[in-house]
Amino acid sequence: MPKLLVRVPSPLLAQGELTHLDRVEADADLALSQWREYVSVYRDRGWQIVDVAEAPDQPDGVFIEDAIVVFDDIVVIGRPGAESRRGEIATARAAVDTLGLPVHEIEAPGTLDGGDVLKIGRTVYVGASSRTNADGIRQLETLLGPRGWKVVAVPVTRVLHLKSAVTALPDGTVIGYEPLVDDPSVFPRFLPVPEEHGTAVVVLDEATVLMSADAPQTAALLRSRGLTVIRTPVTEFEKLEGCVTCLSVRVRR
């Protein structure tokens, strides 16, 4: 049974970090309702929900994917590029004990946010962003290279994280809103989408993806490719540069 690691949003969500967007007040109550709806999509499809300990004093703690990245038989605990987020790591570390996998951590001076990590087959694209530095990428490559992964650094200057700009469909095609993508040619197969909030999808199975409700044209495009598309509202998290990928850690083993 696949597992989903999630953390309930903090009541301080509206105070979260912003890098590329102007601040628009997020509604904490609406965010909680949207988060519950997001989790229910997975629960209804048979995923086991693993609740990471609450972190009410960490505004960005709901974006649990930034702290934890799972690669087959190991877990990598990141080191946030934003100092304000480093308090999230202790509780995230405790949660991975439930997975029964060896754990490795990114160490200073390296930084790595999971939102910068996109896995396609045995290739790991890692965003060289304001949150993930060269040393963090080097450490990840040292861990993954012997395990058969190829690590490719990708420039990210127009958005917060790599997966704010691009994600991948079940067949490995990378999708993104071109004005937000530094260099689409990095990816062997790239499909531009018509909406900013259409860049992020979570693959639920080989025929189904989950995405923001705020990208109807992109949803239609993906359906035209034969995919089943589930849409869920994440407006309050999008105000904080979040999306459907960063609200969870998916463990499929």
Instruction: Give yes or no for residue 253 having a pLDDT over 80.
Output: no
Tell me the pLDDT tens digit for each residue of 164-215. Answer: 999 999 999 999 999 999 999 999 999 999 999 999 999 999 999 999 999 9
Whether residue 33 contacts residue 234, with contact meaning beta carbons closer than 8 Å, is answered with: no
Find out whether 123 and 145 touch, Cβ atoms under 8 Å. no
pLDDT tens digits along 70-120: 998 899 999 999 999 999 999 999 999 888 999 999 999 999 999 999 999
Q: Which two tokens stand for residue 87?
A: 């308090």
What's the DSSP call for residue 190? E
pTM of the predicted structure, to 2 decimals:
0.96
Catalytically active residues are 161, 246
Those residues whose C-beta lies under 8 Å from the C-beta of residue 44, and which sit 6 or more positions away, are: none
In tens, the pLDDT along 236-251 reads 999 999 999 999 999 9
- Indicate the fold that domain 3-251 takes in CATH: L-arginine/glycine Amidinotransferase; Chain A (3.75.10)
pLDDT at 21: 83
In the block, residue with structure tokens 């089943």: 228
As given in the structure block, the two tokens for residue 18 are 């912003």
**149, pLDDT greater than 90:** yes
